[in-house]
Structure 1
Amino acid sequence: MASLLPETAQKIFAPETLRSAAKQSERCHIVPVRLRRAIKKFLREQEEPHMQRKVLRLSESFNEIKGINLQLTTSTSKELVEDPLKSLQQSKRWKIKSSYGDIGLKYRDEETAAYVASRMPAVYSACYRVLREVRRRLPGFSPARVLDFGAGTGSAMWALREIWPRSLESINLVEPSKSMQRAGQSLIRDLKDLPLIRSYDSIQALTQNISKSERDHDLVIASYVLGEIPSLKDRITIVRQLWDLTRDVLVLVEPGTPHGFNIISQMRSHILWMEKRKSRKCVDASDQASKDTVAFRRGAFIVAPCAHDGPCPLDNTGKYCHFAQRLERTTSQRAYKRSRGRPLRGFEDEKFCFVAFRRGQRPRQVFSKPWPLDGMKFETLKEQHAKRNPEDLEIDFEDQFESEAEDIPYEEDPVSYDSDVTETDAIDENDEEEEEEAAHADLGSGWGRIIFTPVRRGKQVTMDVCRSTKRDGSEGSFERVVITQSKNPTLHHQARRSLWGDLWPF
C-alpha cells in the first residue's frame, strides 16, 4: 500500500491509477472486420495467380533493399568506377527517381497486391499502436486536417479512422505509386462517412493544388517510407517539408530495425536542433515583452516515446530503441505467408520505431502537477506484514514460480487465433475510451519508458528505462532499474504487470 502526502498528488494518482496511466502497450491487436473484409474483397478482384510466390518475392525484395540502402554510401562510388553498367542496372531495378531523390522498390500491380495480402495488416497495427498512444498522451488532441506522406495502400488512414472517427474532416494522401493509389481507393470503396480524401503524387503537387490556409495540418504522419530513401540529405529535406506543413503533431514510424532506429534518431535530433536554433534567433531579436509569446509559438518537444528532449542516450551504444505490436494474422496472411517448414502461428509481432513531435514548449512541472511519485510514501514488505491481521493472509501463487525473459513482449496465448471465424460489425468504441480516461500520463516529464522486455525472476523485476533527469525534460538517461518485493511491494506489483513499451513512474 502507498500513502499519499500532498492533497494535490492524491487527487491525481493512486497505485491503481498509476498502472492505468503507465499502460501504453496492447497485448494482441485484432485487425478490424472492415479492413479484413476490404482486403479479402480486393484480393478476390485482383485474381493474381501464384500469390504466395509473389508475397515471398516481395519479402525478399524488402530485405535486399534494406541491405542496399545500408551499403549505398560505401559501395556506390566504387561500383561506378569499377562497373558502371552493374550500378546502373541495380539502380533501375531497385530505385525510381522522384522529386524526393531516389526512393525504394517500384510497386507494380503484382507487388501492390502482395503488399496488401502480407504487409498491410502489420503496418496498420503498428500505426494504430502509435496513434493510440498519441491520443493517450494528448487527450485533448483531436485532428481535423491530416497529411499522410508515403500513404501506400492507406494503412495509416485506416488507423486514423479507428482512433479519431469523429474529428477527421480531410485527409491528404501523398503517394508516388499509382498502383498503390488505386489499391487504396479500392479498399475504401465500401466505407461510409469518410472524410474528404485527396491524393497527390508529391509534396510539391500538394502545395500547388491547395490554398495556403489548407497547408497547415493538425497531424502529419509518415510511416514506413523514410527507410526507402537512402540519402540522408533527401530524408532531411522531406522531413523539414513535412514539419513546415505541421500545425501541431508530426509522427514518424519506421521498421524496428537498427537502420529504422538510426533514421528516427537522426530526424529527432534534426527537428529539435532546428527548432532550438529558431527559438534562439527569435528571442535574441525580440524585446522582453514578446519573448514569452515567441517561446510559446516556437520550439518542439517529444510526445512519445522519449521522456525528454535531450540527446538520445542509446546513440552509439549498440542498442536501439524499438517496440513490438502483436497482431492476429488475417486469413490472407495465413494463406500466403510461409513459415520455413514449421506450422504458421496465428499471430505475428510487428517491430517498429517511432517518434511523435509537438510544436511549442514541453509543459513545465508545477506543484499542482507533480512527477508521478512526488509525495508518495511507500511501505516496505516488513512494514506491511507488521500491520496485517492473521486472517488476512493470502498465498500468492504467482511469486512461487520464476518467469524468464522472452524475445517478444507477450506471453504465448494457448488460444488458436482465427480472426475470420466470427466476424461482427459491432464496434465498442466507448469501452476503450472510458478505460483510457481513468488516468493520464502527464507530458511534463517524470514518466520513463520501458525500452526492452522486463526480466522477471522470482520476487525481483529488472527493467531498462529511458527517463528524464531534469524536470524541464532537457536531458535524459538510460538506466537499469531493479524493483524487489521486499523493499517496495507496491511498485513491484506494477513492475510485474508492465510490458515492453509501457511507461514507468520514475
Structure 2
Amino acid sequence: MATQTIAEAAQKIVTPETLIYAAKQSQRCLTVPLPLRRAIKKYLREQEEPYMKRKVLRLSQSFNEIKNVNLQLATTTSREIVEHPLKSLEQSKRWKITSSYGDIGLTYRDEETIAYVASRMPAVYSACYRVLKEVSRRLPGFSPTKVLDFGAGTGSAFWALQEVWPKSLEKVNIIEPSQSMQRAGQRLIQGLKDLPLIHSYDSIQALSKDISKSERGHDLVIASYVLGEIPSIKDRITILRQLWDQTQDVLVLVEPGTPHGSSIIAQMRSYILWMEERKHRKSSKKNNEVCKDLITEKAGAFVVAPCPHDGTCPLVKSGKYCHFVQRLERTSSQRAYKRSKGEPLRGFEDEKFSYVVFRRGPRPREPWPLDGITFDTLKEQQAKRNPEDLEIDYEDWLKLQEADDDAPREVDAIRRYESDGLETDGDGEDDNEEVKETEEETEIADLGGGWGRIVFMPIRRGKQVTMNVCRSIKRDASEGEFARMVVTKSKNPALHRQAKRSIWGDLWPF
C-alpha cells in the first residue's frame, strides 16, 4: 500500500474550516456547577458561624503573609536548583521530609476551612476545571481510572475531575494533612451519586505505606495550589519527585497566576524535563540495543500544556511571566461574604493561574496543523465569487433586518444571577441531574507540534489582530520562542477570522 504523505494526513486532521474549533481551549465565563453551589451553601448553612466576612478577610491576609515569606527566599538558592538540580538535591534529604506541607505552610483549622469554602473554593475549582478540560481535549483517548489528588483541600480538584471524567474514575487517593479540610471535603460530597472509591491520607509517606509498590502508579496525579505553600525549594523538589514516582501517565501542577506561582511552575517544569532527559542519556549509552529500545519507549516526558515545546521557557528573560486567567460567575456565598473596596461587588471574578501538564513517554510525532493547507488572500476570494452570489433580494434583506431587531440582546455575564434560585430549589435529590448547556463541538488539537499558545489577550485594531504567541520553532518541539504576530484580513481572511475569536490561552496553528 502506498504511504500517505504528511501533507495528505494533515488535510484529514485539520481543515481551514475546523481550525478555529481545534484552537479553542479557554472558557470565557465559567459557571460553577449546580451540585457544587448547593453543597457549599448547605455546608455554610450548617456551620452557623458568625462574623464570616471577618474570617474571609483574615484568610486573605494569611495568603498574603505566605506570599511575602516565599518572596524572601534567596534567589541564589532558586537559581542553583534550576541550573544544577542534581548537585543541590544531593545536599538535602532526597526522598523524605520530616514535616508535611501543612506544618510548614498554612495550617487550616475550622475557621480557615469555613472561610476557604465560602470564598476560595469556587475559584480554585474553575482553574482546575479549565486545566483538566484542556487535558481531555488534547488527549482524547485519555480516561483516568486511578487518580491521586495531592493537597486536596476541600476537594476543588475532585469536583473538577468528576465534571470532566464522570464515568471513568474508579479510585481516588486524597492527600491532605488538615483534618478540618478532610472533614469539609467529605461533607460537601455527601449525597452525590456514583462516586468513585475514595481513600484519604495525611502524607505521601502514609500513602506509600498503605499500598504496595505495584499499586503506586496513578493514571493522573494533580497538585493544585499547594506547592506555593511550601517555603523550602528543596522540599518542593522532594515532593515533586515523589509525585512523579506516583505518576503512571499524566502529572498536573497548578499554582496561582502570580510571578511567584509562575516561577514555581517554571522550576518544576525545568526539573522534570531535565531529570527525564538525564535518564534518557544514560539509557542511550548502554550497549544492549534491545534493552535500550525498551527503556526509550517508556522513559522520557513531554509537556502537554500549556507549552508547545520542551525547550527552555522563552519568557524567563523577557520580564514577563506565563499565566492565564479564568473568569467565573461568583456564587451567592462569594458575593455574600467577600468584601469590596468601597464599590459594589462585581458578579464575576477573574482567577489567574499558572500550570503545566506532563506526560510520560516521548512526544508523539504528528504533522503540523497547517501542513498541506493553503489559504486565499482577500483579493483571491473576491475574484472567485460568482456575480449571482452578490445579488440580494430586497424583501429578504428586510426580513433579515426585522429578525435581527426582534432578537433578544445578549446579557452581560456579570449581571446574570438567575442561577442563584437554583441553589435552593429542590431537596438535593437531583443534584447530579443538572441541565447542561450544549457546548460547541471542538476538534482535537494533536500534540505533534505546530500549535502555539496565545499568551495575554490579543489586541484587535481595525482589520488586524496582534497576538503574543509562544510557539515551537523545531519539528521535534525541542526549542521554542515568544513571538509577536500580526494577522491581517487582506493577507489571510481565514486566519484573521480565527484571530478575532481567539482569547488568552487558546492555541494558534503556527
Identify the TM-score tier after normalising by the shorter chain.
0.7 to 0.9
| Paired residues for 1:328-477 under 5 Å | 328-365=329-366, 370-390=367-387, 392-393=389-390, 413=413, 415-422=415-422, 425=431, 426-427=433-434, 431-432=438-439, 435-436=441-442, 439-477=443-481
In structure 2, what is the Cα distance between the partners aligned to 1:462 and 1:446? 19
In structure 2, what is the Cα distance between the partners aligned to 1:482 and 1:455? 9
Q: Does structure 2 conserve the Cα–Cα contact (< 8 Å) formed by 1:321 and 1:451?
A: yes
In structure 2, what is the Cα distance between the partners aligned to 1:227 and 1:336? 25
In structure 2, what is the Cα distance between the partners aligned to 1:130 and 1:280? 31
In structure 2, what is the Cα distance between the partners aligned to 1:15 and 1:352? 31
Tell me the secondary structure at the aligned position of residue 487 of structure 1: coil
TM-score between both structures, scaled by the size of structure 2: 0.86
In structure 1, what is the Cα distance between the partners aligned to 2:391 and 2:359? 47
Report the residue type matching 1:435 in the other structure. E
Q: Does structure 1 conserve the Cα–Cα contact (< 8 Å) formed by 2:470 and 2:482?
A: yes
- Residue 73 of structure 1 deviates from its aligned partner by 3.4
2:110 equivalent in structure 1: 109
Which of 492, 503, 508 matches 1:504? Answer: 508
In structure 2, what is the Cα distance between the partners aligned to 1:460 and 1:260? 33
Tell me the secondary structure at the aligned position of residue 380 of structure 2: helix
In structure 1, what is the Cα distance between the partners aligned to 2:436 and 2:296? 38
1:284 equivalent in structure 2: 285
Q: Give me the CA root mean square deviation.
A: 2.3
Superposed CA offset, 1:337-383 (max 9, x none): 11111111111110100000000000013xxxx21111111111111
| Paired residues for 1:108-127 under 5 Å | 108-127=109-128
Q: Does structure 1 conserve the Cα–Cα contact (< 8 Å) formed by 2:273 and 2:310?
A: yes
- Residue 431 of structure 1 deviates from its aligned partner by 4.2
Report the residue type matching 2:456 in the other structure. F
- Residue 100 of structure 1 deviates from its aligned partner by 4.8
Tell me the secondary structure at the aligned position of residue 30 of structure 2: coil
Q: Does structure 2 conserve the Cα–Cα contact (< 8 Å) formed by 1:347 and 1:417?
A: no
In structure 2, what is the Cα distance between the partners aligned to 1:97 and 1:289? 41
Matched, 1:206 2:204: no
Q: Which moved more, 1:180-189 or 1:353-362?
A: 180-189
In structure 2, what is the Cα distance between the partners aligned to 1:64 and 1:391? 69
Superposed CA offset, 1:7-46 (max 9, x none): 4333221222111110000111111111111111111111
In structure 2, what is the Cα distance between the partners aligned to 1:392 and 1:231? 67
In structure 2, what is the Cα distance between the partners aligned to 1:449 and 1:184? 34
Q: How many residues align?
A: 461
| Paired residues for 1:222-241 under 5 Å | 222-241=223-242
Tell me the secondary structure at the aligned position of residue 495 of structure 2: helix
Tell me the secondary structure at the aligned position of residue 420 of structure 1: helix
2:311 equivalent in structure 1: 310
Q: Which runs of 5+ in 1 are unaligned?
A: 77-95, 396-410
Report the residue type matching 1:421 in the other structure. G
Superposed CA offset, 1:439-473 (max 9, x none): 21010111000011000000000000001111111
1:272 equivalent in structure 2: 273
- Residue 229 of structure 1 deviates from its aligned partner by 0.5
Pick closer, same or farther for the CA change 1:6–1:269 going to 2, 3 Å: closer
Q: Does structure 2 conserve the Cα–Cα contact (< 8 Å) formed by 1:331 and 1:419?
A: no
1:157 equivalent in structure 2: 158
Report the residue type matching 1:450 in the other structure. I
Superposed CA offset, 1:213-253 (max 9, x none): 22110000000000001111010000010000000000000
Q: Which moved more, 1:56-65 or 1:445-454?
A: 56-65
2:85 equivalent in structure 1: none
In structure 2, what is the Cα distance between the partners aligned to 1:290 and 1:176? 41
Q: Which moved more, 1:327-336 or 1:279-288?
A: 279-288
Q: Which runs of 5+ in 2 are unaligned?
A: 1-5, 78-96, 393-410, 424-429
Q: Which moved more, 1:308-317 or 1:7-16?
A: 7-16
- Residue 417 of structure 1 deviates from its aligned partner by 3.5
In structure 1, what is the Cα distance between the partners aligned to 2:169 and 2:413? 35
1:166 equivalent in structure 2: 167
Report the residue type matching 1:442 in the other structure. D
